[in-house]
């Protein structure tokens, strides 16, 4: 018997732990309930489940790839270690003063999120580095030793160190780390110049604190996981998915757990990116809608858009600024409080509002009959005929149209002077409008026209809403891939080994210094390669370099891709040209007479992944005979239409069903509006095509 | 397609998204630090009658309402029959725009299938407008820079090159200023494109029916909130530092049925310096303060703003006529919400916070080489900083947080890359929050010096040095502000001053007032505040009565 490749992806989410097994190219998937007290138990159960389905022994598993929301939850629920923070004298309150603004202008009773480390646990040292990296004030060893003693005496479980301008020179932070290593080698000490060497103290300090705060817990958990797997006979390598959409070793993850924060959603983006690459679609918008939130990500040239900062643990209606901004590489997503469980109400202007409050899974929407009394998006979908009451969650949760109707009547229809159906339509239309607006703003911010994008939709709620979103956004093509319910776990299986090393180094182009740049790039590449090697060994890699540049005087940078090579003085023109081209692409113009500067640098070293087999999308197909119909409310037509109903399993490649149609499957249903036709693809995806576009093909 | 109630609601949501996109476009492309970093801008869509239908939620309430009032001025002065497709108009008239020369308001008519259907307007703070530069020292608006009256920036697609040339020759940082004017025009165009998509989608020929729907609904909701308030006349006054002499700000709030009038009669006369406030700006902040307390959830439009009637006698410092200097009108303007909220407290106790630091402590630093022949470049560095907010009836005040302005501060590290300065300290000022059952927010300490080879000049525009924020319902006053050099030299709160090489500037920003009797604060909270260093031992003992 030849040796099999049996790779497993496991995604621990808020409600379910999803598992995907790729056995020599065949996919087996499963879902088990997340076990909060022993998260690793759900993984072990899930692995047994999918191995059983695939007919292999667990000992035959060759790789386990893991992503989890547990790190994020630990930050949101404040369940991390008791952490001390050491910073430069004069800057004790950076993480408390935040940006000095209110993220909601009209709320007089606004509260701001409290820092992870309270003031009494924040210590200062008299030291100072200048903006250019020069040491202005050396650490006094006596003061340092006294501080180390104080912190050890207090019995902290973790220590974070963040000094002003340490991204430019780590000498003082390293000195503190060494002092602890000598005095208490077992104590976890995280320093900002290693965790997140980027300019901007608020984000960098938050990042090093978050890292220290979750580190003992994550490292315990990963240790336990590897041990339990070994006990089960699974001795293959285990890797972790990181927020930027790549894999790192368990050791690296234990040292820099802040890099795991968005690992689940990153898996979803990789999942969508694989389809995008396979179809050769170079402008894709991924849309992932679950019970509480919807996430949107841009995927260009088969690569999810990444960023170096993001905000975790938003505390106020998902409002920008209400969370904890971190500087760590991440797949860039827009998240809004819109999901199946989002609750609808009517405000004082008699207008319907939806979310961000969610009925979640307990008590759930009114139609679940579990005590939920508020009308939700799922209730509205049920009332509009878009959900089959007997087929929800494979028939496991019978839905009550009466309960949904009662909630909609009392809480929305009567207050907004609408009939029940109009109210339900209003609820779905408002939530679709909210998601469409968020998607449009996101593309505008990136200087793109959304109508040119193809949407790839996954997650439980997306197939119900995606087609309407495409109508609103003038998008002609929508892909609903197979396995969309466990998309993130499948995505893990397609991720490369990768590590992004970043560093703040400020340089104006009129003081272009190729020697410093070459040195920095070489250092960053070595750092990133070492981490990749830890996971993947010596394999073929690619190197991507980004310089974060702006006009002098501007506040925000744009990421400019540059080659990895030795630069010489004359290359200043290359930087200028690349910046101007990038600026033009985003903003439609360049500005003469202004200086250009570089603030941060990033190098990503990634293993080469097997290219997805190219596949040509079938943009039209042969209409199949339909025997069953049902009625649903078509939002664009503002009326009930008689729709074709087809089970997804019965569709063969090239089959087409003209909208209005509902394509049902165990986990969800895809609504095809009157304006679209669905075409089954060779890889079991479905492509929804705008009928008008189809006519012009 | 006959439009239903739900359709009108969706279009209302869409218009809000349209103006958000308009604002996003401006923030992305603007040069002005205060636009980009601080959200010092405004963007909105108007109907043909000049009524504002929707406005983006941005950082500065001072532009709210002020810009809402500007479009009727444009309609009057340009003339309805002179409005062509492809036109763009502008002004920075402080009395017809948003209160000082640094703010340009750009208005673009929107045309649908050849018919004029409405307007887009946007306001942004530009980097420079000539004159003395951004500061309070002028005695007339003429010294404060170039005033561009309402006129066409673009006529039927043709840019007014003479105007561009005049502006270019009258301002510093020409490229950035002209660039920002084009950004304003471009953001209106972005909004316009999205509006046209919407009109096509819903098959609209005009906007008036939709604007009636939005404005009538908003107006009705606002009036009903006002009607819920107890009728009566409520008075308040507050004294602040001003420039050459202290300023008394007085308001009478009269509520009768669904009408509300805030009248600033009795307020001090004008200043010789640029702290005067045009009426439009006073109205904007009075309205903002009242709206936060009465109708925070109702979107800004002509319907929700009009019910707040605000007046001040002409010639008082809050209704300063042309040619009064008005460059730093934000200082007194930022105190207007404290004044009206104090009056409202007498009408509905428990809603208004105690007074806060309120006026931003913005610093514009000019770094100059000691030796002009050294080749070291000069540099201008802008910082936004905030003191403490007043305590609320059930919550402590927010420390070092802007209110009523909504601006953000910049990273100290990023600021040090802008110019040759070192920020030695920027952290909370112990003991600056007014004692109370609920404690006022803390101010902050900032210490700055020039790097080697440089000296600094700066325009002070700081207040609450002589008159700190007052507490409410037995709460104590917040800490007063101060500015000194590290050799003990005391500096003035207003006007241009010098920081010699080697000296450090020490700013102590005011704290917010406390709310309620400090003796009622739980001893555990007092002890925790003391341990964390939010309050001093003296406050713990004397104000809070901590005994052990």
Q: Which CATH superfamily is domain A6-75+219-260 in?
A: ATPase, nucleotide binding domain (3.30.420.40)
- On chain A, the residues whose CB falls within 8 A of the CB of B394 are 109
- On chain B, the residues whose CB falls within 8 A of the CB of A131 are 413, 416-417, 422
Cα separation, A304 vs A121, in Å, equals 38
Out of B195, B219, B243, a domain closes at B219
Residue among B24, B127, B221 whose CB faces A348 most closely: B221
Residue segments in chain A with a per-residue pLDDT below the cut of 70? 1-3, 393-394, 697
Q: What is the value of ipTM here, to two decimals? A: 0.94
Cα angle vertex B248, ends B244, B249, to 5°?
125
Give the chain B residue nearest A111 (alpha carbons).
B398
Give the chain B residue nearest A412 (alpha carbons).
B6
Looking at chain A, the domain(s) classified CATH 3.30.1490 span: 498-607
Helix (H) or strand (E) holding A535: helix A514-536
Which residues pair with residue A641 across a beta bridge? Answer: A632
* Structural domain count, chain B: 2
pLDDT at A1: 43
pLDDT at A195: 95
User: Rounded mean pLDDT of chain B?
Assistant: 94
B239 within domain boundaries = no
Non-local (6+) Cβ contacts of A97 within 8 A are B399, B400, B409, B426, B427, B428, B444
Mutation site for A-interface testing, chosen from B2, B7, B9, B219 by largest number of A Cβ within 10 Å: B9
Cα separation, B109 vs B87, in Å, equals 7
pLDDT at A666: 77
Mutation site for A-interface testing, chosen from B217, B400, B412, B532 by largest number of A Cβ within 10 Å: B412
In terms of C-beta distances under 8 Å and separation of at least 24 residues, what long-range contacts does B540-545 make, across chains too?
B543/B435, B543/B476, B543/B518, B544/B435, B544/B518, B544/B519, B545/B518, B545/B519
Mean pLDDT, residues B466-475: 98
pTM of the model: 0.94
Contact A422 B179 (CB under 8 A): no
Give the chain B residue nearest A121 (alpha carbons).
B532
Mean pLDDT, residues B110-124: 96
Closest approach of chain B CAs to the CA of A203, in angstroms? 9
- On chain A, the residues whose CB falls within 8 A of the CB of B362 are none
Out of B169, B188, B219, a domain closes at B219
pLDDT at A136: 97
Looking at chain A, the domain(s) classified CATH 3.40.50 span: 77-212
- On chain A, the residues whose CB falls within 8 A of the CB of B221 are 348-349
Strands A83-88 and A16-23: unpaired
Lowest mean pLDDT among A42-46, B88-92, B261-265, B395-399: A42-46
Give the chain B residue nearest A639 (alpha carbons).
B1
- Which residue in this structure is represented by tokens 């108009």? B89
Scored b (16 or more CB within 10 A) or e, A63-100 reads bbbbbbbbbbbbbeeeebbebbbbbbbbbbbbbbbbbb
Contact A555 B33 (CB under 8 A): yes
Out of B219, B241, B276, a domain closes at B219
- On chain B, the residues whose CB falls within 8 A of the CB of A554 are 31, 36
Chains A, B: CB pairs < 8 Å: 195
Task: Classify residue A182 as exposed, middle or buried by CB count within 10 Å of its CB (0-12, 13-18, 19+).
Answer: exposed
Which range, A391-405, B32-46, B122-136, is most confident?
B122-136
Scored b (16 or more CB within 10 A) or e, B169-205 reads ebbebbbbbbbbbbbbbbbbbbbbebbbbbbebeebe
> Given a cut of 90, is residue B548 above it in pLDDT?
no
pLDDT at B366: 94
Give the chain B residue nearest A507 (alpha carbons).
B417
- On chain B, the residues whose CB falls within 8 A of the CB of A334 are none
Contact A587 B221 (CB under 8 A): no
Cα angle vertex A488, ends A484, A494, to 5°?
105
pLDDT at A445: 82
Q: Provide, rounded to the nearest whole percent, the portion of chain B with pLDDT above 90.
A: 86
Find the domain containing B9 and state its range.
5-219
> Given a cut of 70, is residue B37 above it in pLDDT?
no
Contact A444 B21 (CB under 8 A): yes
Per-residue confidence at B174, pLDDT binned at 50, 70, 90?
Answer: confident
B479-495: pLDDT as tens digits:
999 999 999 999 999 99
φ/ψ bin of A553: left (φ > 0), alpha (ψ from -120 to 50), beta (otherwise): left
Cα separation, A669 vs A678, in Å, equals 13
Comparing C-alpha atoms, which of A534, A526, A598, A597 is closest to residue A564?
A526
Cα separation, A102 vs A97, in Å, equals 11
pLDDT at B1: 61
Residue among A106, A437, A445 whose CB faces B28 most closely: A445
B404 within domain boundaries = yes
> Given a cut of 90, is residue B306 above it in pLDDT?
yes
Portion 374-393 of B in contact with A at CB < 8 A: 384-386, 392
- A77-212 is classed CATH 3.40.50: yes
In Å, how far are A308, A458, A498, A534 from A303, measured between CA atoms?
15, 17, 13, 24
Contact A91 B425 (CB under 8 A): yes
Looking at chain A, the domain(s) classified CATH 3.30.420.40 span: 6-75+219-260
CATH number assigned to the domain covering A498-607 = 3.30.1490
> What length does chain A have?
697
């Amino acid at each position: 018997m030849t040796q099999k490749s049996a790779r497993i992806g496991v995604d621990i989410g808020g409600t379910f732990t999803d598992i995907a097994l790729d056995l020599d190219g065949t996919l087996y998937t499963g879902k088990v309930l997340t076990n909060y007290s022993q998260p690793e138990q759900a993984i072990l159960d899930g692995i047994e489940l999918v191995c059983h389905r695939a007919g292999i022994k667990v000992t035959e598993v060759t790789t386990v790839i893991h992503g989890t929301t547990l790190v994020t939850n630990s930050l949101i629920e404040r369940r991390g270690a008791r952490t001390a923070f050491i910073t430069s004298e004069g800057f004790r309150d950076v993480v408390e003063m935040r940006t000095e603004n209110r993220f909601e202008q009209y709320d007089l009773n606004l509260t701001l999120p409290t820092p992870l480390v309270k003031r009494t646990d924040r210590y200062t040292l008299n030291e100072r580095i200048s903006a250019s990296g020069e040491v202005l004030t050396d650490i006094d060893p006596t003061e340092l030793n006294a501080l180390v003693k104080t912190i050890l005496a207090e019995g902290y479980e973790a220590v974070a160190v963040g000094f002003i301008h340490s991204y430019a020179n780590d000498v003082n932070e390293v000195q503190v780390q060494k002092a602890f290593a000598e005095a208490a080698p077992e104590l976890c000490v995280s320093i900002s110049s290693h965790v997140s060497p980027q300019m901007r103290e608020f984000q960098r300090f938050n990042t090093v604190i978050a890292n220290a705060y979750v580190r003992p817990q994550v490292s315990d958990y990963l240790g336990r996981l590897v041990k339990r797997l070994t006990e089960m006979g699974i001795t293959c390598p285990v890797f972790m998915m990181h927020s930027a959409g790549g894999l790192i070793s368990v050791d690296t993850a234990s040292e820099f757990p802040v890099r795991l924060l968005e690992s689940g959603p990153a898996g979803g983006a990789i999942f969508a990116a694989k389809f995008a690459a396979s179809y050769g679609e170079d402008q894709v918008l991924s849309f992932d809608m679950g019970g509480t939130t919807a996430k949107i990500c841009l995927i260009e040239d088969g690569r999810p858009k990444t960023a170096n900062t993001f905000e975790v643990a938003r505390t106020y209606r998902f409002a920008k600024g209400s969370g904890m901004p971190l500087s760590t590489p991440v797949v860039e997503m827009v998240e809004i409080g819109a999901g199946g469980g989002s609750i609808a109400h009517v405000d004082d202007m008699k207008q319907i509002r939806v979310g961000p409050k969610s009925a979640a899974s307990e008590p759930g929407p009114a139609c679940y009959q579990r005590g939920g009394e508020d009308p939700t998006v799922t209730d509205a979908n049920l009332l509009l005929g878009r959900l089959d009451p007997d087929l929800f969650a494979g028939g496991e949760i019978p839905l009550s149209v009466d309960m949904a109707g009662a909630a909609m009547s009392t809480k929305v229809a009567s207050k907004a002077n609408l009939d029940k159906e109009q109210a339900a339509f209003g609820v779905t239309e408002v939530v679709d409008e909210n998601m469409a607006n968020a998607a449009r703003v996101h593309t505008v911010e990136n200087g793109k026209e959304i109508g040119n994008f193809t949407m790839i939709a996954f997650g439980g709620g997306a197939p119900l809403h995606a087609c309407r979103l495409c109508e609103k956004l003038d998008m002609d093509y929508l892909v609903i891939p197979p396995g969309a319910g466990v998309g993130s776990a499948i995505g893990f299986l397609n991720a490369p080994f990768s590590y992004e090393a970043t560093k703040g180094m400020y340089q104006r182009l009129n003081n272009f210094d190729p020697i410093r740049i070459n040195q920095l790039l070489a250092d960053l590449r070595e750092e990133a390669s070492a981490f990749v090697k830890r996971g993947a060994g010596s394999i073929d890699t690619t190197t991507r370099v980004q310089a974060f540049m702006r006009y002098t005087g501007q506040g925000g940078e744009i990421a400019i891709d540059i080659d990895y090579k030795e630069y010489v003085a004359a290359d200043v023109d290359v930087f200028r040209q690349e910046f101007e081209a990038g600026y033009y692409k985003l903003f439609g113009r360049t500005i003469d007479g202004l200086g250009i500067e570089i603030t941060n640098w990033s190098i990503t070293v990634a293993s080469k992944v097997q290219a997805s087999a190219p596949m040509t999308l079938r943009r039209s197909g042969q209409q199949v005979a339909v025997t069953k119909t049902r009625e649903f409310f078509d939002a664009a037509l503002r009326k009930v239409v008689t729709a074709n109903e087809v089970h997804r399993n019965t569709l063969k490649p090239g089959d087409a069903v003209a909208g209005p149609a509902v394509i049902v499957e165990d986990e969800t249903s895809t609504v095809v509006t009157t304006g679209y036709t669905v075409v089954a693809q060779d890889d079991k995806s479905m492509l929804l095509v705008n009928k008008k576009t189809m006519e012009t093909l | 397609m006959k439009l239903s109630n739900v359709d009108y609601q969706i279009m209302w949501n869409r218009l809000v998204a349209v103006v958000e996109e308009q604002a996003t476009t401006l923030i992305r492309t603007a040069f002005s630090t205060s636009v980009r970093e601080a959200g010092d801008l405004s963007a909105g869509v108007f109907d043909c009658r000049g009524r504002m239908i929707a406005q983006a939620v941005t950082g500065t309430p001072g532009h709210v309402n002020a810009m809402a009032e500007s479009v009727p001025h444009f309609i009057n002065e340009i003339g309805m029959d002179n409005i062509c497709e492809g036109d763009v108009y502008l002004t920075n008239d402080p009395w017809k725009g948003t209160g000082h020369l640094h703010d340009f308001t750009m208005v673009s008519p929107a045309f649908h299938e050849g018919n004029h259907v409405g307007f887009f307007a946007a306001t942004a703070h530009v980097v420079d407008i000539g004159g003395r530069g951004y500061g309070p020292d002028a005695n007339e608006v003429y010294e404060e820079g170039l005033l561009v009256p309402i006129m066409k920036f673009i006529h039927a697609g043709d840019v007014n090159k003479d105007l561009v040339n005049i502006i270019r020759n009258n301002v510093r940082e020409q490229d950035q200023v002209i660039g920002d004017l084009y950004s304003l025009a471009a953001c209106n165009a972005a909004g316009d494109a999205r509006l046209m998509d919407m009109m096509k989608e819903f098959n609209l020929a005009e906007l008036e029916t939709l604007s009636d729907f939005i404005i009538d609904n908003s107006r009705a909701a606002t009036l009903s909130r006002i009607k819920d308030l107890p009728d009566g006349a409520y008075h308040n006054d507050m004294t602040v530092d001003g420039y050459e002499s202290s300023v008394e700000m007085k308001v009478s709030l009269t509520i009768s049925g669904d009408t509300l009038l805030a009248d600033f009669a009795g307020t001090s006369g004008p200043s010789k310096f640029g702290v005067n406030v045009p009426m439009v700006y006073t109205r904007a902040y009075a309205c903002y303060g009242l709206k936060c307390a009465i109708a925070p959830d109702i979107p800004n439009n002509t319907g929700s703003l009009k019910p707040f009637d605000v007046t001040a006698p002409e010639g008082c410092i809050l209704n300063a006529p042309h040619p009064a200097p008005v460059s730093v009108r934000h200082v007194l303007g930022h105190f207007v919400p404290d004044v009206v909220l104090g009056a409202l407290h007498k009408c509905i106790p428990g809603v208004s916070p105690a007074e806060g630091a309120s006026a931003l402590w913005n610093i514009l630093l000019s770094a100059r080489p000691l030796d002009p022949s050294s080749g070291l470049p000069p540099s201008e560095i802008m910082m936004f900083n905030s003191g403490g907010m007043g305590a609320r009836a059930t919550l402590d005040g927010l420390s070092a947080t802007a209110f009523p302005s909504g601006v953000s501060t910049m990273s100290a590290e990023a600021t040090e890359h802008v110019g040759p300065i070192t920020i030695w300290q920027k952290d909370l000022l112990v003991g600056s929050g007014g004692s109370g059952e609920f404690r006022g927010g803390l101010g902050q300490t900032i210490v700055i010096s020039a790097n080697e080879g440089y000296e600094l000049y700066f325009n002070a525009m700081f207040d609450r040095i002589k008159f700190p924020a007052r507490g409410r319902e037995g709460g104590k006053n917040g800490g007063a502000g101060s500015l000194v050099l590290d050799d003990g030299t005391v500096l003035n709160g207003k006007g241009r001053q010098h920081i010699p090489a080697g000296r450090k500037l020490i700013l102590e920003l005011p704290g917010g007032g406390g709310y309620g009797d400090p003796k009622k604060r739980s001893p555990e909270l007092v002890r925790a505040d003391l341990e964390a260093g939010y309050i001093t031992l003296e406050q713990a003992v004397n104000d809070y009565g901590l005994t052990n």
